[in-house]
Chains A and B, each alone.
Chain A
Amino acid sequence: MNFRTAQIRLVSSHPEVYEPCDDSFALVDALLADRTNLVQHQPTLCMEVGCGSGYVITSLALILGKESVGAHFIATDINPHAVRVTQETLEAHGVHAELISTDIALGLEQRLAGSVDVMVVNPPYVPTPEDEVGCEGIVSAWAGGENGRVVIDRILPIADNLLSEKGWLYMVTLAANNPIQICRTMREKGYASRIVLQRSTEEESLHIIKFWRDSDI
């Protein structure tokens, strides 16, 4: 097996788990485009929050080249079906990640603080009524509350806590999430940012933002 990214036919599924969509493909395309930098970055710990089907974390593991470069992968999802599906997807591609059913990174924040070198997040970003956020089932895969920002705004400080000095964060956002304002919030925490990929589909305008700590900020 020598795939560049996860193969759709090998991605496992479940009725209550988010299937790879335009947003998932955009994130993986952004990671692929940044492949050379990622490999040179030599991450020790990589993490995905909200792994869903496992399409993204599997692709990241394949992009960084199995275990050989010495990276370790961790993925979380609030939906226990998702982490199981992710496990099947990883196995089908012959790669490994440690999986945890949890809310963002609950349980990891104390011991993993300052250790994550690469974090990838395709959060629930769709503007929805507040009460749909975090409810059981497939709705919580996209429900982002007001401006689609409720979960994103909870993830950002946690990402800041978990990222190492050289840590990078790649995150999917929608124009409606106000990506410029997200970048400003992260700037206040000392991060530079760049929109590494922008893609408009029939339904949405996606921005993949990369964040990294910048001592000049």
Chain B
Amino acid sequence: MRLLTHNMLASNIKGVTNGFPLRIEVEKAIEKQVDFNPEFLKNMFTKIHWKALVDASRIMGFAELPEEADSSMLESDDFLRNFHHALLELHLEEGALVCPETGRRFPVNKGIPNMLLHEDEV
């Protein structure tokens, strides 16, 4: 699971009002190289919750993202490279995503998060 996916996932348990961002529990993180595509990053930038990405990348052991970002930074190659790495190259392979409100764990196995709810959570 890329951090892009983490940035797009929220806990949807019945009654939860603020299920984002999910807290990451890392058992195994890996890196996979992805072709650098500035256009894609520019298109994605406005959709990304920046603080969630910064915090998630730190938990995954990458601390190069600035605390705050605005679109003028997209001119900087360094910034884009770090954004690219955090968003697409860091993978949560084994671990869990934890609902910030209820503590419910959504397991991540072989890089795939399981967001399926039990009957009493729907």
Contact = CB atoms under 8 A, between A and B. Distances in A.
A2 interface: no
B69 interface: no
Nearest to B40: A70
Contact of B116 (A67, A71, A103, A111): A103
A98 interface: yes
Nearest to B88: A72
Given A87-B111, A107-B10, A112-B8, A98 B19 contact: no
B39 interface: yes
A83 interface: yes
B12 A107 contact: yes
B43 A111 contact: no
A35 B82 CA distance: 33
A111 B115 CA distance: 14
Contacts of A101: 112-116
Given A44-B40, A99-B112, A111-B49, A74 B5 contact: yes
A208 to B, nearest CB: 27
- Is the contact region of chain A dominated by helix, strand, or loop, or is it mixed? loop
B116 A98 contact: no
A71 B117 CA distance: 29
Contact of A110 (B1, B5, B20): B20
A90 B9 CA distance: 22
A57 to B, nearest CB: 14
Contacts of B8: 74, 108, 111-112
Interface string A49-81: 000000000000000001110111010001010
